[in-house]
Amino acid sequence: MRYAVHKPHPKRGGSHFDNENPEWTAADVANARPASEVLPEIFSAKIAQEMLKPRGRPRSEHLKERINIRLSHEVIEHFKSAGEGWQTRIDAALRQYITEHPGR
């Protein structure tokens, strides 16, 4: 493997070249393989599958739409006073209004 020439960091000074983790060359990038191919060769299939599983909250079937809305100070304070999730509670209150007032 050919090591790339490393320039010193302009703000930190000195060389931060890491022989154990050298900067990639164009050939390194061209020879790279996706983690989905490499991990099963290194770990068991089960562990590789777990490592490749997407993180975070799963995507909802019904995505919410981001909007801007102006609400009175009292409404915001009421919902925020119960802690985190206040926007979800406003959404629930509006959904309840819709079910109680159909056809409007």
pLDDT digit string, tens, across residues 23-38? 899 999 999 999 999 9
Residues 66-98: pLDDT tens digits? 999 999 999 999 999 999 999 999 999 999 999
**Residue 63: what pLDDT?**
84
What mean pLDDT value characterizes the chain?
A: 86
C-alpha to C-alpha distance for 9 and 11, rounded to whole angstroms: 6
Global pTM? 0.46
Q: Which of 64, 63, 61, 36 is nearest to 50 (CA)?
A: 36
